[in-house]
């Protein structure tokens, strides 16, 4: 386990950069883009950040293709979004 209190941020191949980047991306998305997030849809926001982190090396064209492929045969209707 990495010990921040002791000024340790890396031990062997264990580091915290990726998870910190993930949480920073989620925070940026929630505070900077969406402003209001419902608990019901929070998993969708987290999934978006996860997708972006896993595909961070792709250019815009490759990323667009990946998004379209991931959405294939999936549909989220307005009714599903607004049901409680």
Q: Where are the domains of the chain?
A: 4-82
47 C-beta neighbours (distance < 10 Å), count: 11
Q: What is the pLDDT of residue 84?
A: 66
Q: How confident is the model at residue 62 (pLDDT cuts 50, 70, 90)?
A: very high
CA dist 76 and 70 (Å) reads 13
Q: What is the pLDDT of residue 2?
A: 67
Residue pair 36/44 in contact (Cβ under 8 Å)? The answer is no
Q: Which residue has the higher pLDDT, 59 or 22?
A: 59
């Amino acid at each position: 386990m990495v010990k921040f209190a002791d000024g340790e941020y890396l031990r062997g191949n264990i580091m915290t950069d990726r998870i910190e980047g993930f949480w920073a991306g989620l925070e940026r998305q929630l505070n900077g883009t969406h402003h209001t997030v419902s608990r019901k849809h929070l998993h969708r926001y987290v999934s978006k950040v996860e997708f972006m982190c896993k595909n961070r090396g792709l250019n815009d064209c490759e990323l667009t293709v990946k998004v379209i492929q991931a959405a294939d045969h999936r549909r989220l209707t307005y009714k599903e979004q607004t049901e409680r």
